Structure 1
Amino acid sequence: MKIDDVKVKINPFTWVFILLLVLAGLYIELIDIILTVAIHEVSHYLVAKKLNINMIQIEIFPFGGAAVFDSEIFIRPDLEIIIALAGPLSNAVFIMILIIVSQIIGTQLDYLIRINVLMCAFNLLPGVPLDGGRALKSVLSNFIGLTRANNVAVKISYVLSLLLMYGSILMFVNGNKNYVLITMAAFLIISARNEGRLSQYFNLRDLIYKKEELFKRGIMNVRTIAVLENQKLIKIINCFLPLKYHIIVVLDKNLKEKKRLTETELFDFAIENGLYLPIGEILSKVK
């Protein structure tokens, strides 16, 4: 299904969640949840559009969605932070509106308010693919690179999922069958596992789009790093930071300079020969 050129996918978790609510006869609650998720995701879309970032695809989960954007967001962590936080912020604003409206009309909107509080709070947790995790990953990537930043967010996701699972078990023991916490925990575990599998490709993807960005801008800040000749290409690439063009200074065991390479030269060789060769082995092959 496509909406305004955005491919919309419904995750199987979402269908199961909807089915459970329908079987329980919670039709009003289901409508409230759909409205809350819609506000959250439309906010991501509108902010991305305002920043001239195209949303290509969105996969809808019970507690939000995972969006795929065009290439620019991959090398602009600042933009990803803004887009990620737009969703929880929209829920926070909606909560304030609901409180004011409920006071004016004299009708309690407690469930809708609680759902928005839950949506806002859950998505601000620092685990991927939640908005808080995306924001954390983007901040950390400026210091430790995309791959390592994503690995940190993935590990946090596993910790959060275990805490949620522990909380749901305690509630079951006390007679409170909270299926929401279990669903959240399962969602985080599966999503974190998928994100972890992709981590090693993040910096390679960044290098591809960064090259396009450099041609488009014509100028980019340079970052120089020194490496010993026995270091593998994958380890060096994982040290690269977004929106910085890297010059690699290769040193011998006596810390004397042997050669300087650009990240483009390194990347081109890695694509043809693999990521696990020591950089010293490629010096004679790079002009």
Structure 2
Amino acid sequence: MRAGRIKGTEVILNDYFLLLLGLYFLVGVFPQALLLFTAVAWHEFCHVLAASRRGWQVTGVELFPFGGVARLCRPGGRGFMEDVADEALIALAGPAGSFLLALATSPVFLIIDGVPAWFHFFHQANIILGLFNLWPGLPLDGGRIFRAWQARRAGLYRATLAGVYGGYTLAFLLGAGSIIGFIYRLTDLQGLVLGLFIYYTARQEGETAPYMFWQDFWRQRAKRAIKGEQVPAGKIFWLAADPGLTLARVARFFSPHSFNLVAVVGREGRLEGILTETEIMQTLLEQGNSTIGELLRK
């Protein structure tokens, strides 16, 4: 649900978030729901503030029970690999803001005797929100920090998949723990619902990974062209591939700084042929994914 617009930034309340607010209202703890909303909004505001400070444009914010997602536009003329440090800082700002708010409210417990229950809830909500979001799995903040750290070593695509698997792991733990707790009458099934939601959003992150790879590939190519550098400019990057490998898998190893040639090597070690990056990418775009061997036979 669209809640409004603040200085050009659209604020959206996720359906699950609204459902949780409704459940809190039915069980008579609506004030806690408002406090949770405040904690989540503050958490996301810290993301927005950090993004703005780094020169990123914030077009929208969607609030979830465990945090939120800020829809950001990267500064022009930059690739994904150049933005990983910024992404890590922006992601870290949310948990840092939650911990800071919890720390700022801590002296109240020393000054005032008999602190109200709602204040305890607000203080604990910020701590839990910060800790929960540090899990190294997408779509959580910790997953984005983990991806930024891994991207420089393993590449953006592999780092994204690793973050997705981290999200899957958390979803499984939440779901299994919720079911076991429900069987033994220790908890309700909110953890299962949250686990399913995290699994779904992590899967979406995984589906966008190939597009992120190709966008970064072409951005780096365009950046070299703007500088007046020629690609290939005499520089060739060779890859050796088995005929059974798919085109998409081979393309993930292409270098954007060179012209890529793929030597197709059979099981007996014989050279079966050579494919150019143009042939592979054109086939991917026009005919979809197939194997290297199938393209070579065509």
Common fold, TM-score beyond 0.5? yes
- TM-score calculated relative to the size of structure 1: 0.81
Structure with bigger gyration radius: 2
| Alignment-derived partner of residue 47 in structure 1 | 50
CA distance in 2, matches of 1:195, 1:247: 29
- After the TM superposition, which residues 19-38 of structure 1 pair with which residues of structure 2 at under 5 Å, given as runs? 19-38=22-41
Q: What is the identity, as a one-letter code, of the residue corresponding to 1:5?
A: G
Runs (4 or more) in structure 1 with deviation over 6 Å come to 216-219, 258-261, 263-266
2:20 maps to which residue? Answer: 17
For 1:62, the equivalent position in structure 2 comes to 65
Deviations 1:55-94 (CA, angstroms, capped at 9, x unpaired):
2222221111122221457342111111111101111111
Q: CA RMSD in A?
A: 3.4
* Structure 1 residue corresponding to 2:145, chosen from 135, 139, 152: 135
Structure with more relative contact order (C-alpha pairs < 8 Å, separation 6 or more): 1
Which residue of 1 is the match for residue 240 of structure 2?
227
Separation in structure 2 between the aligned mates of residue 255 and residue 248 of structure 1, nearest angstrom: 20
Q: Look up the SS of the partner of 1:142 in the other structure.
A: helix
The unaligned stretches of length 5 or more in structure 1 are: 283-287
CA–CA separation in structure 2 for the residues paired with 1:46 and 1:73: 22
Q: Which moved more, 1:140-149 or 1:124-133?
A: 140-149
Segments of 5+ residues of structure 2 without an aligned counterpart are: 230-234
Distance 2:12 2:236 in 1: 39
Aligned to 2:106: 99
Q: Does 1:245 align with 2:252?
A: no
* Contact persistence 1:164–1:181 (CA under 8 A): yes
Task: Select between 178-187 and 122-131 the one with higher mean Cα deviation.
Answer: 178-187
Cα distance in 2 for partners of 1:69, 1:259 equals 41
Taking the aligned partners of 1:114 and 1:234, their CA distance within structure 2 comes to 46
Distance 2:135 2:69 in 1: 15
Counterpart of 1:116 in structure 2: which amino acid?
Answer: N
The TM-score, its normalising length taken from structure 2, stands at 0.78
Q: How many residues were matched structurally?
A: 279
1:12 is displaced (CA, Å) by: 1.3
The answer on whether the counterparts of 2:157 and 2:209 sit within 8 Å (CA) in structure 1 is: yes
Quote the residue 1:285 is aligned against: none
* Distance in 2 separating the partners of 1:131 and 1:161: 15
- Give secondary structure in 2 for the equivalent of 1:245: coil
Inter-CA distance 99–134: structure 2 relative to 1 (3 Å threshold): same
C-alpha offsets along residues 138-157 of structure 1, whole Å, 9 cap, x if unaligned? 22222333333222222222
Equivalent residues in 2 for 1:1-287, closer than 5 Å: 1-71=4-74, 72=78, 74-75=80-81, 76-106=83-113, 108=115, 109-214=119-224, 224=237, 226-228=239-241, 230=243, 232-239=246-253, 245-251=257-263, 253=265, 267=281, 270-272=284-286, 274-276=288-290, 278=292
- Tell me the CA shift for residue 175 of structure 1: 2.6
- C-alpha distance in structure 2 between counterparts of 1:215 and 1:53, whole Å: 24
